[in-house]
């Protein structure tokens, strides 16, 4: 007898792919599913892109295309065909926890998407299926930023109060041999009297054994302990509201680690590491071959043309540079010209162009140990250093410093004061050069600082010279402005970012697919490969060799689908439905690695 399964937040059916295209089909049957995309709310549910694909793959029977809130509304009864499910699965939307957002912008479980947890909880409360398998971004255990781990505690307490034993694991799919470095948290819950729980004697398991070896997650995804266990008592709080109000994570950190086990109100957790499989899959192994596969008809559009190579190299490369808040300049423009009749787009365009026309930045090439990098300084950064050297009240790095020409000349007139300004600028430039060069070890700092000093002194001198005023017009309104004035009304901040391989290596797993993977625009996070390397005739020694070979391209949609383990049938249906390349990439950015789900599900039915 097969386990009847409901798939929530189905997308294009990642969980169902795990079942339908493997021997698991003999053990599981998806009888109810739901998908609704808020961003496509103007369309009837059946006409939304993900639903079109899902229905074409698996049929319309049992598939609901309404907003889940309408289905699980507490004032309504649940659909009859969900009442007899034995398992609920779903990758509930993760926008509120996504690493694509700054941590301080994450709203957590109470955010507009995070509240979907309560739709899951409603179904579990009414139906009480034997099994639950949920997937989300690994950041869930740290949500919200102001109270680390609270939201995860709410979820664990909810499952525990419904009689479930819970296991969780943060999994990097590449650690289990799959072709993508995709870190996600999987939460597996099961009733104490379920067949799988009885099979492993879950209620009597030693906690360490449950997490490390004998639990269902440990059997499906083998691991070894990497820390001592700790315990968090969920039963201390009588309700989710009380838990949310009183729970405080120690030292601003979540008490929950990469693996855990919940039973009888207590959450046990520890760090574990994956036991690597003997067989692994590289990005190169799943790429389309011109000899064996049919490449897309528009394959030429995926090639990276030579004229945009510098933009790709910059996007992928290390960054340590000044960036300014265009909003401050836009506000200044509006205050000077008045906002009446001025379009936001014109103001934004002018705010971006003015610093260029007024030469607000000075960039120079710096060479150290036969490697050359481009180092930049901004006039606003020098303004702040002048304010500090002059002990001006209100000097700040995160707002404009209104330094006048008289104050610049005052600072320059004092050798001691100006030396402080130059020394501060040298420190900034040294840090940037050190970072851009990829140097490690304090012994190089002094050497870099000494060598870079003359170029920095010249840059500071250039940035503080009195410059000619320029005129600019926006919708017929004209303003005359010089560099001193703009610098007094804007500010710059240091921006750092590590480098990514360019192009991506194909002899190991690929990086995580994100929803904006599609399209030809330059992006730091999109995959770019060298076809010469992908052809299986060896890997170039360096990315520079790949660039010289001139055969760089973005990944095809089917390759992204293969990275997540989706079937050839899925790719075929997307082509037949004429789903755009960008939308197919969006699907895969939201999807899961099918093979990981398959390994977890297998433990439920394994003899």
Tell me whether strands 3-8 and 87-90 are parallel, antiparallel or unpaired: parallel
The one-character DSSP state at 297 is T
Strands 183-191 and 131-137, how do they pair?
Answer: antiparallel
Sequence-separated (6 or more) residues with CB below 8 Å from residue 268: 207, 210, 211, 229, 230, 231, 260, 261, 262
Alpha-carbon distance of 404 to 386, in angstroms, equals: 10
Please report the beta strands in 482-557, taking only residues with DSSP state E, as ranges in sequence order. Answer: 492-497, 528-530, 552-554
- Cβ atoms of 191 and 130 closer than 8 Å: yes
Pairing relationship of beta strands 183-191 and 230-233 according to DSSP bridges: unpaired
Pairing of β 528-530 and β 552-554: antiparallel
Closest to 157 (Cα-Cα) out of 78, 79, 256, 64 = 256
Output the CA angle 425-426-432, nearest 5 degrees. 95
Task: Annotate 230-249 with DSSP letters as a single string.
Answer: EEEEGGG-SSHHHHHHH---
The pair of structure tokens assigned to 323 is 């960036």
For residue 525, give the 3-state DSSP assignment. Answer: coil
Q: Give the CA distances from residue 592 to residues 79, 186, 331, in Å, rounded to whole numbers and listed in that order.
A: 27, 11, 43
Distance CA 287, CA 589 (A): 17
Which residues, in sequence order, are CB contacts of 146 under 8 Å at separation 6+?
A: none
Task: Give the residue numbers annotated as catalytic, written as ranges.
Answer: 94
- Cα–Cα distances (Å) from 500 to 400, 451, 527, 603, in that order, read 33, 28, 10, 37
Return the residue matching tokens 């969920």.
Answer: 234
Contacts of 250 (CB under 8 A, 6+ apart): none
Is residue 9 within 8 A of residue 35, CB to CB? The reply is yes
* CB 287 within 8 Å of CB 534: yes
CA 86 to chain centre: 33
Half-sphere exposure of residue 39: CA atoms within 13 angstroms, side-chain side:
8
Q: Say what the alpha-carbon torsion angle 432, 434, 438, 444 is, to the nearest 10 degrees.
A: 180
Q: What are phi and psi of 2, to 5 degrees?
A: -85, 150
- CB 560 within 8 Å of CB 588: yes
Q: CA–CA separation, 21 vs 10, rounded Å?
A: 16
| For helices 49-58 and 568-576, angle between their N-to-C axes, nearest 10 degrees | 120
């Amino acid at each position: 007898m097969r386990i009847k399964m409901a798939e929530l937040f189905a997308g294009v059916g990642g969980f169902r792919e795990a079942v339908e295209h493997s021997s698991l089909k003999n053990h599981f049957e998806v009888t109810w599913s739901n998908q609704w995309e808020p961003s496509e709310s103007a369309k009837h549910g059946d006409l939304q892109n993900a639903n079109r694909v899902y229905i074409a793959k698996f049929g319309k029977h049992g598939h609901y295309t309404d907003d889940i809130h309408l289905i699980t509304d507490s004032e309504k009864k649940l659909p009859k065909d969900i009442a007899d499910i034995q398992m609920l699965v779903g990758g509930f939307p993760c926008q509120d926890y996504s690493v694509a957002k700054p941590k301080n912008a994450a709203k957590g479980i109470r955010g507009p998407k995070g509240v979907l947890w309560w739709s899951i909880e409603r179904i579990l409360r009414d139906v009480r299926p034997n099994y639950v398998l949920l997937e989300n971004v690994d950041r869930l255990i740290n949500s919200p930023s102001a109270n680390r781990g609270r939201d995860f505690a709410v979820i664990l307490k909810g499952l525990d109060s419904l009689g479930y034993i819970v296991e969780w694991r943060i999994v990097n799919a590449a650690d289990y041999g799959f072709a993508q470095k995709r870190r996600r948290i999987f939460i597996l819950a099961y009733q104490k009297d379920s067949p799988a729980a009885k099979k492993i004697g879950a209620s009597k398991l030693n906690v360490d054994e449950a997490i490390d070896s004998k639990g269902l997650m440990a059997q499906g995804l083998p691991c070894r302990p990497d820390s001592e266990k700790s315990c968090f008592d969920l039963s201390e709080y009588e309700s989710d509201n009380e838990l949310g109000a009183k729970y405080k994570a120690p030292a601003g950190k979540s008490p929950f680690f990469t693996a855990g086990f919940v039973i009888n109100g207590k959450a046990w957790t520890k760090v574990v590491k994956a036991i690597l499989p003997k067989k692994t899959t590289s990005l190169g192994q799943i790429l389309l071959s011109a000899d064996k596969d049919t490449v897309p008809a528009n394959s030429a559009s995926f090639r990276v043309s030579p004229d945009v190579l510098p933009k790709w190299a910059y996007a992928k490369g290390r960054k340590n540079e000044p960036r300014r808040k265009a909003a401050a300049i836009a506000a200044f423009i509006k205050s000077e010209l008045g906002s009446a009749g001025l379009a936001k787009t014109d103001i934004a365009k002018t705010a971006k162009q003015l610093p260029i026309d007024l030469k607000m930045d000075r960039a120079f090439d710096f060479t150290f140990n036969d490697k050359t990098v481009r180092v930049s300084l901004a006039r606003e950064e020098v303004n702040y250093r002048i304010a500090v050297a002059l002990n001006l009240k209100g000097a700040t790095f995160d707002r404009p410093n209104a330094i006048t020409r008289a104050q610049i000349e005052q600072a320059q007139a004092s050798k001691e004061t100006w030396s402080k300004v130059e020394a501060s600028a040298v420190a900034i430039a040294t840090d940037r050069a050190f970072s851009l060069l990829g140097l490690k070890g304090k012994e190089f700092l002094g050497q870099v600082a000494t060598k870079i000093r003359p170029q920095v002194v010249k840059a500071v001198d250039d940035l503080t010279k009195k410059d000619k005023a320029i005129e600019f017009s926006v919708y017929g309104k004209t303003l005359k402005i010089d560099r001193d004035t703009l610098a007094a009304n804007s500010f710059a901040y240091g921006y750092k970012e590590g480098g990514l391989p360019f192009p991506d290596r194909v002899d190991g797993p690929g990086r995580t697919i994100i929803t904006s993977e599609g399209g030809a625009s330059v992006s730091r996070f999109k995959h770019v490969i060298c076809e010469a390397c992908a052809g299986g005739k060896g890997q170039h020694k360096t990315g520079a060799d790949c660039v010289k070979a001139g055969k760089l391209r973005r990944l095809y949609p089917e390759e992204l689908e293969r990275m997540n383990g989706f079937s050839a049938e899925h790719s075929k249906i997307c082509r037949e439905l004429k789903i755009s390349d960008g939308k197919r990439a969006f699907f895969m950015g939201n999807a899961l690695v099918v093979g990981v789900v398959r390994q977890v599900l297998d433990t439920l039915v394994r003899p």
